[in-house]
Amino acid sequence: MKISTARRLAQIFFFSVFLWLVLVASVGTGWTQWRGWPIAWFLQLDPLAAVGTALTTHSLHPGLAWALVTIVLTILFGRVFCGFACPFGAIHQFVGWLGRHVRRPKDKMAANAYRPAQSIKYYLLAAMLGAAALSVGNAFVGALQTGLLDPIPLVHRSFNLVVLPAADLAAGSRFPGGRYATGAALIGGVFLATVLLNLWMPRFYCRFVCPLGALLGLFARRSPWGIGKTGAKCIECGLCDVDCEGACNPMGPIRTSECLMCMNCLDTCPGSKPLAYLPRPSQGGEITDYGVTRRGFLAAAVGGLAVAPLARIGGARTGWSPALIRPPGSVAEEEFLARCIKCCECVRVCPTNVLQPATTEHGWGALWTPALNNRMGTSGCQLNCIACGQACPTGAIRPLTLGEKEGRGDFASAGPVRIGLAGVDRGRCLPWAMERPCIVCQENCPVTPKAIYVSEIVQTVRDGVYEVDSADGANLRLRNARLSPGQYASGDYECKLAGDDRGRAILANTGDTLTVDTASSPPGQVAPGSAAEVQIRLQRPVVDPALCIGCGVCEHECPMNGLRAIRVTADNETRDPGHAILLAPGVAGNRSLSPT
Amino acid sequence: MNEPTPALAPDPATTRRAFLRRSLEAGAAIAATGGLAAWLWNRHPPGTLGRGAPASLMPDFSVRDAGAKMAIVTGADRVRTLRRALDAMGGIGRFIKPGDRVLLKVNAAFAAPAILSATTNPELAAELVRLCHAAGASAVLVTDNPINDPESCFALSGIGAAASAAGATVVLPRPGDFAPLTLPGGRLIRNWPVLHEPFRGVTKLIGVAPVKHHARAGASMTIKNWYGLLGGRRNQFHQDINGIIVELSQLVRPTFVVLDGTMSMLTNGPTGGSLADLKPTHTLVVSTDPVAADSFGATLLGRTSRDLPYLARAAQLGGGTTDYESLRPARDDVS
């Protein structure tokens, strides 16, 4: 078997594994569901995720140790990850092949010539790692923005939020209501652009943009094995460039850091086969620099370094967005941004689709990080669910147990994990502001005892003061009344007569007559001309901040369809003690939170 | 002929031919445009709609010759109380005939485990499925349009797995499964999206619901359970909760209902969330009259039908009777 055939089979294999792992990433125990599949495996293999988070947090998150496998293989054998394993690379190579197989060898050789612009990816890497590197004590936490362009999170994000939901939409099979992602146009647009650029130039993204490729290029620079010349006679025909994926000039001197290990040159090299995969150095010479100037590299790194302090000056700490609700188990915001690689695995596995990729509403740094949008999804953050934390490959969302999330067992004294706090907008709430019964929010509050309780009030309705014209048992005829029949018959209205200390339930009404309940207390003599007030009994929702966990079911269910009359903000979220609002946490009114 | 005609010295013959050809082309283009416009012509542009699309009606699923029947059986084992209650009513064969396609409307509103009794008990639902099959039903469908995420609701409540294992088809509602429906004489259910697709070909309808406290409605039992057939922004109906429950009692005429008061949710309803919200009341009711079932159910919550205004109004409109004793319910005990 030719080595390029083996490479193709490896690409098909790894791409299939990738596809399987994103396909099964939905909560469930079936074998086509998450079950125990290592859905974040490719993300854990990603050295840029490991290096980036190591720079920002000064620690290596356990699962990311997989990246060592990639790094060691790269140090020894060159960028075999790019050529054999990278699922994004496989897409690029396939689309590039589709686009170029009609062209003449001369054009293909020209397209695959090395270009100085291939150094751009190293500058991008320098800027990103520079931004990540500036973690100085408590003053600054570095900004991790590798996820914007890191191909592994990028391809996961694209498949999780755009490609698979689009397939779902078309097939209508997996999720009854479909899956939605805010800003899908941007996520999908970036993905499409990177893929379609292969039609113009093969492996465009890998050659010019990919910061992971740049990082692996650093590791591959002096790899003991690689593509090189054996010393056999080379007629310098240039045919090795025809299908060269990396544009690394295999005819020599080869640019070792650019070589993607596609092995195509070994096939197209004619005659006495002067090219081989061999212990290096190559007899044809090697270029081990990256086409990067010292001045340019410093400029990029310093530019990156400035990101964190600039974000700080921009008010990232004091001006935090109260609308930013992070999933349960999230670490405090600064560390969250230092860990999140924007892969959107959490968004994908969220069973209610309430977890959404942020656009820029919470600041540029939060782009494509997970945030709850309670108006979207099927029903807020589900009480009995810890999927997002289990899916997170970098510890931005801690893997909670159900006990910790709900504050049971060992966590009873800590109480449940709060992701925010609901607040009633009394200017929009139907019973508070508009004299109409509702309390849908109270009904749906999943906490026990309910974090939303009701304050009951009886108030006279608009134009509700009448004079009794005549009374006949339960029927009160009103003077000058023009009611619409049944208007007060919903069971929420009462009629308070002069002398009564409380109203009687109205059972029915015609245009001018009320029928009131007389079973509980028979009416006394109602004198014509005496006052009768139509009153409404309203239950008005009130939130107990000691019980509310911020799950957002209330906000999702609120019938004020546009701007909801009850909304969750990040106030009182557990993850940041600085956001606490209560004097004595853990005490709900006069109730203790831990049942005895 | 194909060369461009000189602009200043036209050949008259060629010009005439070219002119005719162009005229024909123009005529064809005009005809095509006019035809397309006629094809797309909207006879009912926004603003001139009538009172809505013609309403479809929900069939009456009650069994005429069964009459009003009710059985109240005490005991902690739902399978045994259900079987005994149905036996006391003459056996499930009086209601489900061979070849019937049965729809079982469960309460799967919340993504909560069965032990919290916020949803229909999965063993009870499964036993109903088995009994229907035993009576010769050709198919049994189980459905609800829950409040929480549908998939999670059917998974966590255990209803999905239990019903499937018993041989039922579990139907999770999709956006296209709803159709506008108008209750004749109704005030609230007018051109409102109601779960439609699972009803296709269905000949019998059974409702099965737990007994639960409900702050707005007083209690949620078998009639309130039909709320789960509504789609759209149904939360608006909380502005007139009694009105919507009364209309649901008129809209839905089931074959029979099962009211599960084995564990009653006394507080924190309808979500519950704690065993402390539950009280073992160890009673199960099967009734062809949902108003009677719920009137009895109110007593399990320490209330009467008078505390639930919708019951008297539903009875007034022919939905049943609040005086459940008038049905001479069969009573038994299997504890």
Residue range B295-330, pLDDT digits in tens: 999 999 999 999 999 999 999 999 999 999 999 999
Cβ of A485 under 8 Å from any chain B Cβ? no
Whether the pLDDT of residue A596 is over 50: the answer is: no
For A28, the closest chain B residue by CA position comes to B155
Report whether A384 contacts A566 (CB < 8 A): no
In this prediction, residue B9 carries a pLDDT of 58
**Any CB–CB contact under 8 A between B319 and chain A?**
no
Which range, of A309-318, A342-351, A572-581, averages the lowest pLDDT?
A309-318
B contact test, residue of A349, A353, A383 with most B CBs within 10 A = A383
Stronger pLDDT, B174 or A189, i.e. the higher one: A189
Tell whether B18 is covered by a domain.
no
For chain A, give the percent of residues with pLDDT over 70. 95
Q: What is the pLDDT of residue B43?
A: 78
> Do the Cβ atoms of B240 and A490 come within 8 Å?
yes
For residues A197-226, give the mean pLDDT.
Answer: 95
Say whether A176 and B151 touch across the interface (CB within 8 A).
yes
Residue type, A263: M
CB of A594 within 8 Å of any CB in chain B? no
> Nearest to residue A509, comparing CAs of A540, A539, A538, A466?
A466
Any chain B CB within 8 A of the CB of A32? no
- Cβ neighbourhood burial of A584 (10 Å; 0-12, 13-18, 19+): exposed
| Nearest Cα residue in chain A from B153 | A382
| Structural domain containing residue B149 | 64-333
Is it the case that residue A209 has pLDDT exceeding 70? yes
When pLDDT is averaged across residues A456-482 and rounded to a whole number, the result is 94
pLDDT score of A503 more than 70: yes
Question: What average pLDDT is seen over chain B?
Answer: 92
Binned at pLDDT 50, 70 and 90, residue A590 comes out as: very low
CB contact under 8 A, B175 and A437: no
Q: What pLDDT, on the 0 to 100 scale, is given for residue A179? A: 86
Beta carbons within 8 Å of A10's beta carbon, 6+ residues apart: A84, A85
Q: What are phi and psi of B151, to 5 degrees?
A: -60, -45
Q: What chain B residue is nearest to A431 in terms of C-alpha separation?
A: B239
Give the residue on B whose Cα is nearest the Cα of A174.
B151
Q: Would you call A435 an interface residue with chain B, using a CB distance cutoff of 8 Å?
A: no
- CA A304, CA A300: separation in Å to the nearest integer? 6
Confidence of residue A519 (pLDDT cuts 50, 70, 90): confident
Is residue B16 included in any domain, yes or no? Answer: no
Q: Does the model's ipTM exceed the 0.90 cut?
A: no
Choose the closest CB to A379 out of B147, B174, B274: B147
Q: With 70 as the cut, is the pLDDT of residue A162 above it? A: yes
- At residue A172, the pLDDT reads 67
pLDDT at residue A586 above 70? no
C-alpha A404/C-alpha A412 separation (Å) is 8
User: Cβ–Cβ of A351/B151 closer than 8 Å?
Assistant: yes
Which of A383, A440, A490 shows the shortest C-beta gap to B235?
A440
In the prediction, which pLDDT does A584 show? 64
Does B216 sit within 8 Å of A443, measured CB to CB?
A: yes
pLDDT score for A593:
45
The model's pLDDT over A103-140, given as tens digits with 9 standing for 90+, comes to 788 888 888 999 999 999 999 999 999 999 887 666 66
- Contacts (Cβ under 8 Å, ≥6 apart) of A164: A22, A23, A179, A348
Give yes or no for A315 touching B (CB within 8 A). no
Q: How many CB pairs under 8 A join A and B?
A: 114
Q: Which of A220, A230, A353 is nearest to A284 (CA)?
A: A230
Mean pLDDT of chain A: 91
Residues of A in contact with B145 (CB under 8 A): none
Residue of A nearest to B187 (CA): A486
Distance from CA of B11 to the nearest CA of A (A): 47
Of B148, B156, B268, the CB nearest to A379: B148
Domain-embedded: residue B284: yes
CB contact under 8 A, A177 and B306: no
For residue B179, give the amino acid letter. A
Give yes or no for B164 touching A (CB within 8 A). Answer: no
pLDDT greater than 80 at residue A388: yes
B63–chain A nearest CA distance, Å: 31
Using the Cβ of B18 and the Cβ atoms of chain A, whether some distance falls under 8 Å is answered with no
Record: contact B235-A558, CB cut-off 8 A:
yes
B147 shares contact with chain A (CB less than 8 Å): yes
What element of type H or E holds A216? helix A211-220
CA distance A453 to chain B (A): 9
Residue A385 distance to chain B (closest CA, Å): 9
Q: Average pLDDT, stretch A133-150?
A: 82
What pLDDT shows up at residue A114? Answer: 95
CATH number of the domain encompassing residue B258: 3.40.50
Cβ contacts (< 8 Å) between B119 and chain A: which residues? Answer: none
Q: How many structural domains does chain B have?
A: 1
Predicted confidence (pLDDT) per residue in A408-455, tens digit: 999 999 899 999 999 999 999 999 999 999 999 999 999 999 999 999
A487 shares contact with chain B (CB less than 8 Å): no
Question: What ranges make up the beta strands (E) of chain B?
Answer: 70-74, 101-106, 139-143, 169-171, 178-181, 192-195, 204-214, 218-220, 256-265, 278-287, 330-333
pLDDT (mean) for B8-23: 75
Looking at chain B, the whole-number percentage of residues with pLDDT higher than 70 is: 92
CA distance B308 to chain A (A): 9
Query: Quick check: A594 pLDDT over 50?
Result: no
Q: In angstroms, what CA-CA distances link A464 with A460, A478, A483, A525, B208?
A: 6, 11, 10, 21, 41
**Could you tell me if residue B294 is inside a domain?**
yes
Longest dimension (CA), chain B: 111
State the CB neighbour count (10 A cutoff) for residue A175.
Answer: 21
Helix (H, G, I), strand (E, B) or coil at B73: strand
pLDDT band (50, 70, 90) for residue A312: confident
* pLDDT at residue B56 in the model: 58
Closest CA to A387 of A337, A448, A327, A447: A327
Question: Is-contact A160 A174, C-beta < 8 A?
Answer: no
- Which spans in A24-119 are helix H? 41-44, 47-57, 67-77, 80, 87-100, 105-111
> Over the Cα atoms of chain A, what is R_g?
33
Q: So what's the pLDDT on residue A177?
A: 67
Residue type at A363?
G
Average pLDDT over residues A266-277: 88
CB proximity A511 to B under 8 Å: no
Local structure of B306: helix, strand or coil: helix
CB contact under 8 A, A176 and B111: no
* Number of other residues whose CB lies within 10 A of the CB of residue A244: 28
Per the domain annotation, does B321 fall within a domain?
yes
Instruction: Select the residue from A32, A34, A381, A384 to test the B interface by mutation, using most B Cβ atoms within 10 A.
Output: A384
Do A176 and B150 make contact, defined as CB atoms within 8 angstroms? Answer: yes
Q: Is residue B50 part of a domain?
A: no
pLDDT (0 to 100) of residue A142:
78
Q: Which of B149, B268, B277 sits opposite A382 (nearest CB)?
A: B149
Beta-carbon separation of B276 and A448 below 8 A: yes
Mean pLDDT of A296-303: 92
| Closest chain B residue to A538, measured at CA | B216
Query: Is the predicted pLDDT of residue B61 greater than 70, yes or no?
Result: yes
Q: Is A257 left (phi over 0), alpha (psi -120 to 50) or beta?
A: alpha
pLDDT at A9 over 50: yes
Residue A398 has pLDDT above 90, yes or no: yes
- Nearest CB to B268 within list A176, A436, A450: A450
What predicted TM-score, i.e. pTM, was given to this entire model? 0.90
Question: Strand B204-214 and strand B101-106: pairing?
Answer: parallel
User: Of the candidates A384, A437, A439, which has its C-beta nearest B111's C-beta?
Assistant: A384
pLDDT tens figures, A492-502: 999 999 888 88
pLDDT at A582: 87
Q: Which residues of A touch B241 (CB under 8 A)?
A: 437, 490-491
